[in-house]
Structure formats: C-alpha cells, structure tokens
Amino acid sequence: MTNDVNYNVTDGRAEIELDRPDVMNAYTEDTLIELNHAVEKAVDDKSVYVILLTGNGPGFCTGRDLRAGTKSDYRLSEAERLNKVASVMRHLYVGRKPSIAVINGPAVGGGMELALSCDFRLMTDESFFRDGHVNAGFTPATGGSW
C-alpha cells in the first residue's frame, strides 16, 4: 500500500481524501486500488450514512498520473485500470449511500469524472472542471463524454 488515500469516519460521514498533493492528487494504479477499498469500506459500514470525497492540498484530482511510468511499468492492464475507475464511480453514482464531492481545486480528466459521479458537488471559488483527455490524446472512457 502506498497510503495515497486517507479514510476517516466522523459522525456517520466517511471522509475519503486523495493524498497526493504534489501532483494535484493525480491517481496511479495503487491510488485506484486504495480508493476502491475506501469506497467499498464506506458502502459496507452500517455507521456511515454519507460519503465525502475530496483531495488534499490545492487540487481535487487531475485524473491519471501520466508521469507515473510507462505502460510496461503497469501491473494492471488498461481494461483492469478502467474497471477500477468505473468501480469507484459506480459505487458513488448508484451506491446505497449519498456521495458528495468536495472540490477544493481543479477537477480534470478522470478527476472531473470522479466528481461528476457523486450525487452532489460542492466547489470553492478556485475549483473548476476541465476535460483534459483531448490534450493527452485520450477519450473520456469512464463517463466524461456522457
């Protein structure tokens, strides 16, 4: 485990925080695995009635960390990685508990898709959405175009 995700339950709120502020909370394979565990834990915890998703530092999430290595460095196939992203989004979007994205800065690419998969979004004045997929030569594969 890389400890890229902080998980805390307070008064029935599962607070899930992406914790990679040095890269605006861009996610790696390990981050996605941890994020899945945190969201699944919140969904299964009977004491939790709402899920809050946010990012540490000045950004919410800038999507996939494109500097995290080359494709040959990845343990997960592209399909497995997309499945991990889709799993988190599915739990947030159609899960049994309401989800709130607390957007404290840029929500770009996959980060925008994470925020949009939540039931509610709270934004600061510094927050914004941007679909950065085109700039990186990708298509929004997990719901951004929808």
Average pLDDT of the residues in 1-20: 93
This prediction has a pTM of 0.85
Exposure string of 80-109, with b = 16+ CB inside 10 Å and e = fewer, is ebeebbbbbbebbeebebebbbbbbbbbbb
Answer yes or no: is pLDDT of 94 > 90. Answer: no
Local confidence band at 128 (pLDDT 50, 70, 90 cut-offs): very high
Answer yes or no: is pLDDT of 97 > 60. Answer: yes
The amino acid present at 25, given as its one-letter code, is N
CA distance 75 to 24: 23
What is the residue-wise DSSP string for 104-136?
-SEEETHHHHHHHHSSEEEE-TT-EEE-THHHH
Answer yes or no: is pLDDT of 85 > 60. Answer: yes
Answer yes or no: is pLDDT of 139 > 80. Answer: no
Q: Phi and psi for 29 in degrees, rounded to 5?
A: -55, -45
Answer yes or no: is pLDDT of 113 > 70. Answer: yes
Local structure of 21: helix, strand or coil:
helix
- Please give the C-alpha separations between residue 40 and each of 16, 90, 91, 115, 143, in angstroms, as whole numbers: 11, 11, 8, 17, 20
Local structure of 61: helix, strand or coil:
strand
Give Dmax over CA atoms of the chain in angstroms.
43
Burial class of residue 71 in the structure, from the number of CB atoms within 10 Å of its CB (0-12 exposed, 13-18 middle, 19+ buried): exposed
Note the pLDDT of residue 125: 94
Average pLDDT of the residues in 98-112: 94
pLDDT digits (tens, 9 = 90+) for 54-78: 999 999 999 888 787 655 455 667 6
The CATH architecture of the domain made up of 5-136 is Alpha-Beta Complex (3.90)
Answer yes or no: is pLDDT of 81 > 90. Answer: no
Answer yes or no: is pLDDT of 141 > 60. Answer: no
